[in-house]
Structure 1
Amino acid sequence: MRRWLLLAVAFFATPALAQVYEFPRWNDAAQVNAECSRLLTDVRQREKALAALPERGAGVLAPLDELLQRVEDTMGPLWLLPAVHPDKTVRDAAEACDLEFQRFTAAFLQNARVHTRLKHAAVADDIDRRLQREQLDAFEDSGVALAPAARQRARRISTELTELSQAFERRIRESRDTVAFTEAQLEGVPENVWRNARRDAKGRYVLGLDYPTADPVMERAVQERTRERMWRATMRQGGEANLKTLQRIAELRREYARLFGFDSYADFTLRRRMVGSEAQATRFLAEVDAAVAQRERADLALLREAKARATGAPQASTTLQRWDLRHFTERVRNERYTVDQEAFRAHFPPQRSLEFVFALSQRLFGVRFEPVEQTLWHPQARAYAARDEQGRLLGTLFVDLFPRPDKYNHAAVWSFRNVSVRSGRLPAAALVVNFDSQGLTLEELETLLHEFGHALHALLSTTRYAIPGGTNVLLDFAEAPSQMLEDWVYDPAVLALFQQVCSECAPVPREMIERAARARHFAKGIATTRQLVFARYDLALHGRRAEAPMKLWARMERATPLGHVPGTIFPAGFGHLAGGYGAGYYAYMWSLVVAEDLRTAFAADRLDAAVGRRYRDTVLANGGQLAPKELVRRFLGREGNAEAFFRSLAIE
């Protein structure tokens, strides 16, 4: 269900009030607990004040938004801390506060007096009406109109789902799973991945499962057994406990939907999104599958042939395994296009790579970033002020670049403080990634730019209210502004900006970039169909038919060309399902359709500042206060379509 107050967040300010956001220094659980208690006392008082407003014609939207802003003052940082703070007691206290806050939210969204006042609120224009409608939807989807017993059950389910989601993510984040290898077994793996790793009693290198470590092993290891061991370890993250948790999550979501008369949680939640229904999402995925199925078969045949050549075995007796995919994809890509992703690391030092995306934002959107001194959750984390061409403060960005124990182990942005022009409130967001300190590959630079796209969406929003600010858009539009920018790293003119921030960095040869741009489309059939399997599994897990998560996954994966590997439990580590993407993983593909369409405006020049400013003012500035289709229409000057997306699927 929608959690009204658990939206991705950000804030804007008038020049007179502009101040760099200071991240709270919560260094122990007692501080977190005390601030949490103050928040809960305050929001309950605000709830009473909302309920006491006149029943009809009251200005409910502003105080409702101000309540959210008060929530963000405390919960914004606390939503981030479990992912980045090195102290487990602080992480646990932040999660405990989130659980208490969810109890408040579930009850608040069933407050009939507040709902009535929202229903009859004074609205000034279409922006007010859209906010009113979406908040009414949130109240209704939380059970405000249900019978008393059903309302109580909805509240209990909401709270339990929060607790289960936290546990699911915690098991992955705090996992100490490792795999030990001898130096000989690591043949082909770049030395910087393993040379400084700790050794066990047998002298073997002990490697973790974070992606800067695991990915190079699976891509580069010459010995198949090495690749297999690392791949199998990554396919067991979360463990059996997470499978049980995921099953309970799916059961509760289905029960929740049935409280509202829906047989499918997917239909319950998708009716509020661009796609509209589970059936429409299924049709969309089928259209994509039809476009790439033949290409997947051809891709797999090429990789199987490559494995046969590498092993000296007859092709007829060669079996391509799942742990072979990354290795032989990279090998054949390199053979065809002479592209070695590792070779890019020397060109893209991590800090300079961050400064490069800052330079791109200044060139394209008129936004510059300058470092500011702050004591943050870890010495490696940094703070930056975002300013416009006139030097006016737009917001604050926090960046955490490198892996460490107990840190969130993928790449994401927490836009935890939303903009409100009406209130004069500045945005703040945190970009969290896990990069090799030796440098980034071009694919990792693409990841950085993707996440930076989310941060820009948060920081450049200028919405009237905080609730629809920044990345608080429909889920199946949320990835579009970040996916759109991924393409920029394959443009030599764009990468030339790197020399502005790092004159000592050797420029990437133009032909190297051009080869990489062609190579990125290799094995697109395999990559796309894998994403389709994830999306279909997510919809099926949240569909009408209840089935145990592992049984469902094994059945669906067995139907793919490479089948299912017994003993692997991939769903246990599929964090999207336990979090906000339940019945929503299709949104990555759906958003990519929008992203490809948006890119067409930059086809002539990806550094066109006039188009960039129009994009900033039209798409990014409006956050979620206008419908996504309207934003696309205004920016492109026409209705959106999927033509560019399906063209991209056909590029060889």
Structure 2
Amino acid sequence: MGLALGGAALAATPTLPGPPFPNYANGDALKASCDAGLKRATEHLHRLEQRTVDAGWLAAMDAFNAEIEDLGNADQFLSAVHPDKSVRDASEACELRWSEFATALGQNEVLFEAARKFKPRDAIDREMVKTLLEGFEDAGVALPAEQRVQAKKLADRISELGVEFQRNIRDEGVRVPFTEAELKGVPESVWKNAKRDDAGRVLLGLDYPTFFPLQQTAELEATRERMWRAKINEGGEKNLKVLAEIVQLRKQYAALFGATSWAEFTLRRRMAGNVAKAQAFLADVKGAVQERERREIEDLRRAKAEHLGLPVEQVHVERWDLQFYTERLRRARFSVDQNAFRPYFPPQESLQFCLRLIERLMGVRYERVEGVALWHPEVQAYRVSDAASGKPLGSLLVDLYPRDDKYNHAAQWSLRNAATATGRPSLAALVVNFDRKGLTLDELETLLHELGHSVHTNLSATRYSQQAGTTVKRDFVEAPSQMLQDWVYDKQVLKLFGEVCPSCKPVPEAMIEQARAAKDYGKGVRESRQQLFASYDLALYDGQARDPMALWAEMEGATPLGYVKGSMFPAGFAHIATNYSAGYYGYLWSLVVAMDMRTAFGGNRLDAKVGKRYRDIVLANGSQKPPTELVKQFLGREFNAKAFFDDLKK
């Protein structure tokens, strides 16, 4: 992304569809690009305001949106991944300026009136106009002047706090010191090459390739506890204050529109429709898993007692015990050791395997493009095209490995949305943090999940860029990625690994069978945790004046494992501080849809006919049709929760 704004700041990439990705030498170069981008966007806005509302107005509005993407998205994205702090800082500052531009745009009365006057020619236009009008209304364009000013002020401050919340996590740079003896049981590959302090202790960060293997394998409970506390307290007291302010500001914002809460204001635009329906769904999930959760925790308690040689009644399972004893039980009952998969799934070959799966299933082609100047030398670029016609569809950028000051989770950014009306190609960025020595099966599942988001971006074929890919409703957006996760347990699917890496030793079928059997173990604890996260999110935004930390301690305290004094989970819960606020339930809601969509493939997860139909109906349409309509068209019926709740009983 990014147009030729800063001259030498950009490196030409003629082999990728669309404009070149910006390659900044320092923060000043990014600031110059940001300045120029906002200037051009403002000039374009003035031209659009003067335009007659005719048959081409909606296309002109979308062209404006497309230019905003090209001018601003990459500059804002770099705060998450760029190794140069000056660039990250400039990126954050740029994000806030674009956010202010967006809130002002949402209150533009000229464009709002133009959208109201526009006469749609078909159902796609009608859906686009409906979305535009809802966006304007939710930004406060129809509020009285004084309240409109207040809405913008609140929205700008919320955006500023969201950036601060994420920065406090990303730039904290926590390193937990351990002696080698304290790392008993942890694979050497996790810590051998880590930096050391003056006392010779190993300094371990909180990135996924370090945190999870340690939690699963560290023999000493004190080691697991120290690492768990460091991770659960990411963001610290300062983020608790930020979150509390965000919650109050969102409540004030919703009140401007007559809503009793941010949750009520938000859910009226979602698949769920209202808070009561989302809460009823979460209650059903809790009812389906709570007894299973209790049984699993008792299993873990017995496993811990046996491991320590103590009577069961003297043993209590702690939060930092969960992964360790779950893995011990999986190994004991199913002979499954997640770390044993690493030699079979080298990172680069794992990426190629996932890409090959999408190629086979959905009729596309990924071609690696060398020599593209990006934010880090290890970032890879792929051209995505239709396999049958050779038509370019877009680009995919992949950042595989952890490094200091990089976003330390896994996510996809839709940097550029496609539009068939103008032949506009898409651009997706996939950011993960994997061990260079190989992936576990769980991590392969994560990779396929995030790739599912990029596939949604890259294979979108909507008329307008504003309706492309992941612009769908928040409680549907996870469905396309969650649907694919299960594919990693299919033996036929995993045979594709041999196509991308003939020299790689195939993972034994017995290991996959054991992993499938073990997959359901721990489901009660896992889904109860998701249900708690979602319930907490809705409760936090239900309009009652409650302190985020006190509410969390109360709700987690009511669970079988209770609340751990001194832990500050909400301080690192970035989803609810940013764009999943009053929407985290969408992960479980989307999973219901995803599991129902999987049924269309029957016993053949490589059925290219079904895959192509899925691509053409669900992915290609983005949000130009409501998700319930897309899923109904794909399945030939209304979606239901049978597959989801049946799976919870396994």
- Identify the TM-score tier after normalising by the shorter chain: over 0.9
Aligned to 1:482: 481
Aligned partners of 1:428, 1:359: CA distance in 2, in Å?
19
Aligned partners of 2:445, 2:432: CA distance in 1, in Å?
12
SS of 2:467 mapped into structure 1: coil
CA contact (8 A) 2:353 2:500 kept: yes
Aligned partners of 1:38, 1:205: CA distance in 2, in Å?
46
Which of 373, 380, 385 in structure 1 is aligned with 2:383? 385
Report the AA paired with residue 174 of structure 1: D
Aligned to 2:290: 293
The Cα offsets for residues 213-263 of structure 1, whole Å up to 9 and x where unpaired, read as: 011111100111111111111111001100000001001000000000011
Aligned to 2:558: 559
Aligned to 1:210: 207
The Cα offsets for residues 410-453 of structure 1, whole Å up to 9 and x where unpaired, read as: 00000110001111100000000000000000110000000110
Report the AA paired with residue 602 of structure 1: F
Report the AA paired with residue 17 of structure 2: Q
Which of 23, 26, 46 in structure 2 is aligned with 1:25? 23
CA contact (8 A) 1:21 1:395 kept: no
Shift of 1:507: 0.5
Which of 299, 320, 323 in structure 2 is aligned with 1:323? 320
Shift of 1:26: 2.1
Aligned to 1:13: none
Aligned to 1:256: 253
Aligned partners of 1:558, 1:456: CA distance in 2, in Å?
39
Shift of 1:38: 2.0
Shift of 1:493: 0.3
Aligned partners of 2:107, 2:359: CA distance in 1, in Å?
45
Deviates most, 579-588 or 92-101? 92-101
1:428 corresponds to 2:427: yes
Aligned to 1:362: 359
CA contact (8 A) 1:401 1:433 kept: yes
Q: Pick 1 or 2: higher relative contact order, CA cutoff 8 A, min separation 6.
A: 1
Aligned to 1:497: 496
Aligned partners of 1:41, 1:558: CA distance in 2, in Å?
51
Aligned partners of 1:19, 1:221: CA distance in 2, in Å?
47
Report the AA paired with residue 114 of structure 1: L
CA contact (8 A) 1:412 1:432 kept: yes
SS of 1:583 mapped into structure 2: coil
Aligned to 1:112: 109
SS of 1:189 mapped into structure 2: coil
Report the AA paired with residue 392 of structure 1: K
CA contact (8 A) 1:21 1:428 kept: no
1:447 corresponds to 2:451: no
Matching of residues 279-358 of structure 1 within 5 Å:
279-358=276-355
CA contact (8 A) 2:78 2:91 kept: yes
Aligned partners of 2:104, 2:489: CA distance in 1, in Å?
49
SS of 1:396 mapped into structure 2: strand
CA contact (8 A) 1:18 1:393 kept: no
Aligned partners of 2:369, 2:54: CA distance in 1, in Å?
45
Aligned partners of 2:428, 2:287: CA distance in 1, in Å?
39
Which of 70, 88, 94 in structure 2 is aligned with 1:97? 94
Aligned to 1:169: 166
Shift of 1:18: 8.4
Aligned partners of 2:465, 2:189: CA distance in 1, in Å?
44
Aligned to 1:457: 456
SS of 1:345 mapped into structure 2: helix
Aligned to 1:66: 63
SS of 2:475 mapped into structure 1: helix
Matching of residues 128-143 of structure 1 within 5 Å:
128-143=125-140
CA contact (8 A) 2:21 2:74 kept: yes
SS of 2:394 mapped into structure 1: strand
Give the fraction of aligned pairs with identical amino acids, expressed as a percent.
Answer: 52
Matching of residues 203-242 of structure 1 within 5 Å:
203-242=200-239
Which of 333, 349, 374 in structure 2 is aligned with 1:376? 374
Aligned to 2:10: none
Aligned partners of 2:161, 2:198: CA distance in 1, in Å?
37
Aligned partners of 1:163, 1:319: CA distance in 2, in Å?
42
TM-score (normalizing by structure 1)? 0.96
Aligned partners of 1:94, 1:493: CA distance in 2, in Å?
44
CA contact (8 A) 1:59 1:122 kept: no
Shift of 1:106: 1.2
Shift of 1:21: 5.0
SS of 2:130 mapped into structure 1: helix
SS of 2:381 mapped into structure 1: strand
CA contact (8 A) 2:184 2:218 kept: yes
1:82 corresponds to 2:51: no
Aligned partners of 2:507, 2:201: CA distance in 1, in Å?
36
TM-score (normalizing by structure 2)? 0.96
SS of 1:346 mapped into structure 2: helix
SS of 1:378 mapped into structure 2: coil
Aligned to 2:588: 589
Aligned partners of 1:22, 1:493: CA distance in 2, in Å?
38
Report the AA paired with residue 460 of structure 1: L
The Cα offsets for residues 267-323 of structure 1, whole Å up to 9 and x where unpaired, read as: 101100001111111111001111111111111110001001011111111111111
CA contact (8 A) 1:21 1:396 kept: no
Aligned to 2:47: 49
Report the AA paired with residue 328 of structure 1: Y
**Change in CA separation of 1:191 and 1:18 when aligned onto 2, cut-off 3 Å:** closer
Which of 23, 32, 35 in structure 2 is aligned with 1:34? 32
Aligned to 1:577: 576
SS of 2:520 mapped into structure 1: coil
SS of 1:522 mapped into structure 2: coil
Aligned partners of 2:342, 2:105: CA distance in 1, in Å?
50
Aligned partners of 2:252, 2:621: CA distance in 1, in Å?
35
CA contact (8 A) 2:76 2:94 kept: no
Aligned partners of 1:277, 1:103: CA distance in 2, in Å?
29
Matching of residues 588-607 of structure 1 within 5 Å:
588-607=587-606
CA contact (8 A) 2:16 2:369 kept: no
**Change in CA separation of 1:394 and 1:57 when aligned onto 2, cut-off 3 Å:** closer
The Cα offsets for residues 360-379 of structure 1, whole Å up to 9 and x where unpaired, read as: 11111111211112011001
CA contact (8 A) 1:469 1:623 kept: yes
Aligned partners of 2:477, 2:266: CA distance in 1, in Å?
16
Aligned partners of 2:309, 2:146: CA distance in 1, in Å?
68
Aligned to 1:529: 528
Aligned partners of 2:366, 2:497: CA distance in 1, in Å?
15
CA contact (8 A) 1:60 1:122 kept: no
Shift of 1:51: 2.5
Aligned partners of 1:78, 1:649: CA distance in 2, in Å?
42
Shift of 1:554: 0.6
Shift of 1:19: 2.9
Gaps of 5+ in 1: 1-16
1:271 corresponds to 2:272: no
1:624 corresponds to 2:623: yes
> CA RMSD for the aligned pairs?
1.3
SS of 2:63 mapped into structure 1: helix
Gaps of 5+ in 2: 1-14
Aligned partners of 1:92, 1:201: CA distance in 2, in Å?
30
Aligned partners of 1:113, 1:175: CA distance in 2, in Å?
44
SS of 2:173 mapped into structure 1: coil
Deviates most, 544-553 or 589-598? 544-553
Shift of 1:60: 2.6
Report the AA paired with residue 44 of structure 1: T
Deviates most, 618-627 or 199-208? 199-208
SS of 2:384 mapped into structure 1: strand
CA contact (8 A) 1:20 1:393 kept: no
Report the AA paired with residue 346 of structure 1: P
CA contact (8 A) 1:396 1:427 kept: yes
Shift of 1:114: 1.2
